[in-house]
Structure 1
């Protein structure tokens, strides 16, 4: 048994036949050590024994044997089982290599996505903006951005349906479109109508985007905004200590051609805060399957009105983790904290 392990460490084999009864190390111990050494590599093992005891068979298979043969061996059966496992190994190795390639491509896509989603907003002097982006997979469909529009500022948050590569591809196309047209169109509602008509040509029938876009007019201290089916942003008014949920009429982006969107406006006062987010944060659940929800989010904003920037963002993530008890989120999390 030990001699066989030493040989297998020095040479590569496609399949191993092992007897239960061997000197120094029996077949069970051999399989345990062999499987622990090869880790993720798949080298099939056929366990051979002269016993027809069912418990012996079960033990061998549970330890890691891939097949089982009773001695004396039938040559035709042996060849059939060896060939079957060799075919299985070949398929496994092909899938393993393809998976490695996919993981490499996902890693590249993740780096591209990390590059195009801003982490800092230092180019915007006022209002002060901070945010966080936490995809549940290597790449995700949530995104946000900010645009310097002369003396004004455009701010966007959006969520593409689904996860993974399809959502990430639509996200990248959408973000490029918003970046292109934001500097050309000075109306949130008209901008979303334009994006809707453009993106309709590119996405699948079962895909759509929720989005909220606003323009902050620095001269008149006013925001103009449009909501395309997105989670309602929460606006904290410091003077009154109250929170408003901002919303307008309008379908998801990409659902229907020539969709028109409503546009509203709101006066901004010093000390106010606007919180934009995707539904991944409000829909995260605790052990009782209760959602974090809009009310808890509003309560966090009210209770931490004096907290600023990264401290506010990190505090919210800590609050959500505490609520969920470590439960993994089912959706991407993205949010922007805007302080006027």
Structure 2
């Protein structure tokens, strides 16, 4: 049976009525206010949830436009139309919400204005006969980004308004409790009863609010979910369940984004005579900024590992732009330098200098076992030399990351020859930036030393053991994404070695 806050506290009023009608009247008034504030807080949380979904919907509208500019796929038009319907449905809900008034009505009008601009651009792009040239494409993309940023600012302003209103509502609730406690304490005649009632109120009302507050605090720090244990059968339970639904909706959207992001990565290991390539990934959040790629054409294999600045959704969006820019180039008709130069221009024009991507790109020839590589501000790979049976850091001078500068970006290629039994381990900085209980970093040198103590293992087994070690070393939740990409030369590569000049091998890397 559902018993509301008013009914529960009404029972308290009846007990106190025989002692003091005046105290009961004041207490009842306070309880009425509490009921109103809790109800208002629940409405604000529901409104906050709808506004958050509105932000996700506008992102889902913009993404197909950008992808259409890159690929021209008709599938992106269907995705855009689906997102358009969802966006207007949410906007209609907000207009009907009784808590939306004043400044929020102005925000709705401004959001609709920018959305109309985006819609006009989308119709122009989708309906353009024969496609759009590069210059107009860039202009349209920049204009879409501008309106998307403006909508994001408006939504953020809305969130701040809702947050402020919820906080004010909670403050008023706490103030009402203070008044009630003072009224109970004002009469010595009801001291014992007041103590019992205070305990009861704490159990039935304050405790659920504290639990709800802890849940909100946990989510604000990146918690995965909020499962309310509040069973008060009143408005506070409604508030907790509304917040839980909002969190589930947000996490569902993030999981969908993670699923899409994962599909953009290679799904199978690459195993050809003489070469075995595999990857491992551990995400600190549902989505992240790490990515990798590898593919083969005839006797040439290209591999890549990258780490976009930022975490969570911002890092994932930057990574997706970088991945799309690289994959937009012809895979083997362009050199790795040409691919990176064009990708750097795309990232630089789309984002500011604060947003960048570190990257290591390599090209391996099965004809002569030469390993050509370029390092763009990324971590130097670990190289196992079968002849020496030792792991060392590969000798590579880091260049500028993607997105820092167009004019100063000059990728420098280096090369080595890999022998049968050699292994190359590429990784992102999350691998060695984990900390123990003393807040000490693991460090890449400790990883190198650990690798040199391991028995002869395949690159697959080695990466699994290394990832287990890193997770075990870390104290608390891992704060950064970890990606491993391993290449192993098997015995089948031996037939390529005898024709390679000895002076083509790289100098020894520093240990």
- Bin of the TM-score, shorter chain as denominator length: 0.7 to 0.9
**Higher mean C-alpha displacement, 220-229 vs 121-130:** 121-130
Whether the 8 Å contact between 2:345 and 2:403 is mirrored in structure 1 is: yes
Relative to 1, partners in 2 of residues 1:81 and 1:244: Cα closer, same or farther, differing over 3 Å?
Answer: closer
Paired position in structure 1 for 2:194: none
TM-score by length of 2: 0.52
2:442 to 287, 292, 296: 292
Indicate which of 233, 238, 249 corresponds to 1:101. Answer: 249
What is the TM-score when the length of structure 1 is the normalising length?
0.76
**Which one of 368, 379, 384 corresponds to residue 220 of structure 1?**
368
Could you tell me whether the CA contact under 8 Å between 2:423 and 2:459 is conserved in 1?
Answer: no
Aligned to 1:88: 41
1:330 counterpart = 2:479: yes
How many residues are paired up? 287
Determine helix, strand or coil for the equivalent of 1:130. Answer: strand
Q: Which has the higher strand share?
A: 1
Query: What is the CA-CA distance between 1:99 and the residue it aligns to?
Result: 3.9
When residues 321 and 106 of structure 1 are mapped into structure 2, their CA distance, relative to the original with a 3 A threshold, is: closer
Alignment of 1:231-250 (within 5 A): 231-242=379-390, 243-250=392-399
Is the Cα contact below 8 Å between 2:361 and 2:374 reproduced in 1? yes
CA distance in 2, matches of 1:208, 1:100: 31
Higher helix share goes to which structure? 2
- The aligned counterpart of 1:317 is 467
Q: Distance in 2 between matches of 1:126 and 1:17?
A: 77
Compared CA separation, residues 150 and 103, structure 1 to 2 (3 A): same
- Alpha-carbon displacement from aligned partner over 1:65-96 (angstroms, at most 9, x marks no partner): xxxxx634356544433322211121123333
Equivalent pair of 1:228/1:252 in contact (CA under 8 Å): yes
Equivalent position of 1:198 in the other structure: 346
Q: What is residue 135 of structure 2 aligned with on the other side? A: none
Please name the residue that 1:113 is paired with: 261
Rounded to whole Å, the distance in 2 between the matches of 1:313 and 1:265 is: 24
Counterpart residue number, 1:18:
8
- Number of the residue aligned with 2:430: 280
1:49 Cα offset (Å) = 7.5
Worse overlay, 212-221 or 72-81 = 72-81
Summarize the Cα distance change of 1:281–1:163 in structure 2 as closer, same or farther, 3 Å threshold.
same
Structure 2 gaps, min length 5: 18-22, 50-242, 490-511
Q: Which has the higher contact order (CA 8 A, sep 6+)?
A: 1
Check whether the contact 1:278–1:334 (CA below 8 A) recurs between aligned residues.
yes
The alignment partner of 1:339 has SS state of strand
User: CA contact under 8 A between 1:17 and 1:48: conserved in structure 2?
Assistant: no
Given that 2:375 and 2:399 are in contact with CA atoms closer than 8 Å, whether structure 1 keeps it comes out as yes
Relative to structure 1, the CA distance from residue 182 to residue 323 in structure 2 (aligned partners, 3 Å threshold; closer, same or farther) is farther
Q: How does 1:169-188 map to 2 (within 5 A)?
A: 169-181=317-329, 183-184=331-332, 186-188=334-336
Moved beyond 6 Å, runs of 4+:
none
Unaligned runs of 5+ in 1: 1-6, 23-46, 52-69
CA separation of 1:304/1:140 partners in 2, compared to 1, >3 Å: closer, same or farther? Answer: same
Match of 1:308 in 2: 458
Once residues 210 and 314 of structure 1 are traced to their aligned partners in structure 2, the CA distance between those partners, rounded to angstroms, is: 24
Q: Does 1:142 align with 2:132?
A: no
Q: Provide, for residues 234-262 of structure 1, a one-character-per-residue CA deviation record: whole Å limited to 9, x for no partner.
A: 11111123323232341110111131111
Q: Which of 309, 316, 335 in structure 2 is aligned with 1:168?
A: 316
Distance 1:48 1:135, change over 3 A: farther
- Indicate the residue corresponding to 1:54 in structure 2: none
Query: Which one of 399, 405, 410 corresponds to residue 256 of structure 1?
Result: 405
| Paired residues of 2:10 and 2:28 also in contact (CA < 8 A) | no
Q: Structure 1 16/223 Cα, relative in aligned 2: closer, same or farther at 3 Å? A: farther
- 1:160-197 per-residue CA deviation (whole Å, 9 max, x = no partner) reads 00111121112122222222326145533332222101
Write the distance in 2 (CA, Å) between the matches of 1:252 and 1:48: 72
Q: Is the 8 A contact 1:158 1:211 kept in 2?
A: yes
Contact in 2 for aligned 1:216/1:222 (Cα 8 Å)? yes
Cα deviation for residue 205 of structure 1 reads 4.1
Q: Give distance in 1, aligned partners of 2:399 and 2:321.
A: 21
> How far off is 1:137 after superposition?
0.6
SS state at 1:71 partner: helix
Change in CA separation of 1:80 and 1:20 when aligned onto 2, cut-off 3 Å: closer
- Are the structure 2 counterparts of residues 212 and 153 from structure 1 closer, same or farther at C-alpha, using a change threshold of 3 Å? same
* Residues 6 and 32 in structure 2, CA contact (< 8 A), matched pair in contact too: no
